[in-house]
Amino acid sequence: MTTVRNLYGIDHDSLVDCFLKAFDGYFVKMPTDPGYYKERWRKANVRLETSYGLFDGNRLVGFSLHGTGGKPGDLTAYNVGSGVLPEYRGKGALRKIYSHAVSDLRKQGCSRIILEVIQENTAALKSYEKTGFSISKELLCFSGKISLPQDSDIIIKEYSDSEIGWDSLPNQKFLAWNFGSDTIKRGGYRYFQIFADDQARAYLSLIKNSTISLNLICWTKSRKAGLCCSKAFRKWRKEALGPLI
CA dist 14 → 42, 208, 214 (Å): 17, 29, 28
Give alpha helix (H) positions in 108-141. 122-131
Q: Given pLDDT bands bounded at 50, 70 and 90, which one contains residue 241?
A: very low
Nearest-angstrom CA–CA distance, 135 and 153: 42
16 vs 150, higher pLDDT = 16
Q: Write out pLDDT tens, residues 117-135.
A: 999 999 999 999 999 999 9
Mean pLDDT across the chain, nearest whole number? 83
CATH number assigned to the domain covering 2-131: 3.40.630.30
Q: Is 18 helix (H, G, I), strand (E, B) or coil?
A: helix
Nearest-angstrom CA–CA distance, 178 and 52: 20
The whole-number pLDDT of residue 65 equals: 98
- Range 171-179 average pLDDT: 73
Q: Is the pLDDT of residue 219 over 50?
A: yes
Comparing 3-17, 25-39, 181-195, the range with the smallest average pLDDT is 181-195
Where in the chain are the domains?
A: 2-131, 155-238
- Range 147-156 average pLDDT: 64
DSSP state of 238: H
Q: Is the pLDDT of residue 144 over 60?
A: yes
48 vs 150, higher pLDDT = 48
Closest by alpha carbon to 233, among 152, 105, 147? 147
**Share in percent of the chain as helix, strand, coil (round to 5):** 35, 25, 40
The whole-number pLDDT of residue 45 equals: 92
The whole-number pLDDT of residue 139 equals: 84
Nearest-angstrom CA–CA distance, 160 and 240: 19
Whether the CB-CB separation of 83 and 95 falls below 8 Å is answered with no
Q: Given pLDDT bands bounded at 50, 70 and 90, which one contains residue 204?
A: confident
Q: Is the pLDDT of residue 245 over 50?
A: no
Q: Given pLDDT bands bounded at 50, 70 and 90, which one contains residue 225?
A: low
Q: Is the pLDDT of residue 171 over 90?
A: no
